[in-house]
Amino acid sequence: MSYVLGHHQYGKAEVRVVRVFRETRESRHDIVDYNVSVTLSGDFDDAHLSGDQTKVLTTDACKNTVNAFAKSAGEAVRTPEAFALALADHFVDDVPQVTTAMIKVEAYAWERIGDHPHAFRHRGDHVRTVTVRRGEGPATVVSGVRDYVLLKTTDSEFHGFYQDAYTTLQPTDDRVMATSVTAQWAHGSAQDTDWDTSYAAVLDALTTAFADSYSYALQQTIWEMGQRALDAASGVAEIRMSCPNKHHFVVDLSPFGLENHQEVFHADDRPYGLIEATVQRSADVDLSAAYDPGQAWS
């Protein structure tokens, strides 16, 4: 029986690199903190079919490239999108057997302590994410955020839902709504984008839309958040959001002779409802290939 080798890829996962921008020990320093994964596709059939490694760029070389580019790519290193683009261009343009490179970056945020020139503290638990895919054509860029926890204590309802023989959930017109947002947004073009400004605009739009929009369901809130994000960043073609419902249940305090008017809750982490949706400028453009297959959904 004869078999056919299907799609295959390889690379180096989770290269942790921290870059300090400094002129002297005493000067004002800046810092970026990245977790970089490189995935390569191309003319590597022989490595699988016959064990011939002639065309295989080692995964150790991928790691070394990330570290070297953290120095040699200059100002591009300051934003994860620009850094990922520089790496993707190198692997596709400079390694002949590579036809497609996917670079994934997680960026961990640090902020300066006061106005100290070289002391920082970690900022927040959410993670900025980037996926850059470069093949024969122009690179695609998907920015994102993961583990972005949002909560509001009222202005959220959930009622009027379909009920069957297994429905026990009681309708409510006042509840805590909380979620941990994973969002990815695809840019229409990778040219002349101020990545930090665009990221900040989308994150602010998601945040304010969650806070300001009266919610009849998490689904409707996602729709409001997506629209607000597209309004805030003209270069974004679509945004995909995955939002677990972080349930907060009112605790029954009646055994203790106490009333509980939406004041004391039990936060339950599982099981949870998972709501996902895409908000697009146009349904005519298919950007599914741009996303990280480990996070994207369809």
**Residue 298 pLDDT:** 44
Catalytic residue among 55, 59, 153, 207: 59
What does the domain layout of the chain look like in residue ranges?
Answer: 1-137, 146-298
Would you say the pTM of this structure is higher than 0.95?
no
Angle subtended by helix axes 195-212 and 218-232, to nearest 10: 150
Clarify whether 167 is annotated catalytic: no
Under the phi-then-psi rule, with left for phi > 0, alpha for psi from -120 to 50, and beta for the rest, what region is 18?
beta
Inform me whether the pLDDT recorded for 296 exceeds 60. no
Give yes or no on whether 1-137 and 146-298 have one common fold.
yes
Clarify whether 12 is annotated catalytic: yes
Four-point Cα dihedral 180, 182, 187, 192, nearest 10 = 60
**180 beta partners:** 149
As a three-state string, the secondary structure of 32-100 is EEEEEEEEEEECCHHHHHCCCCCCCCCHHHHHHHHHHHHHHCHHHHHCHHHHHHHHHHHHHHHCCCEEE
pLDDT single digits (tens) 217-240: 999 999 999 999 999 999 999 999
Inform me whether the pLDDT recorded for 120 exceeds 80. yes
**CB within 8 Å of 195: residues ≥ 6 apart:** 79, 80, 81, 82, 143
Strands 140-152 and 127-134: antiparallel
Inform me whether the pLDDT recorded for 202 exceeds 80. yes
Q: Which CATH architecture has domain 1-137?
A: Roll (3.10)
Inform me whether the pLDDT recorded for 45 exceeds 90. yes
Inform me whether the pLDDT recorded for 116 exceeds 60. yes
The label of the residue with tokens 């304010």 reads 208
H or E, element range at 207? helix 195-212
Residue 233: φ, ψ to 5°: -135, 100
Q: Which CATH architecture has domain 146-298?
A: Roll (3.10)
Inform me whether the pLDDT recorded for 292 exceeds 90. no
Q: How far apart are CA 133 and CA 225, in angstroms?
A: 26
Catalytic residue among 63, 126, 187, 247: 247
Clarify whether 59 is annotated catalytic: yes
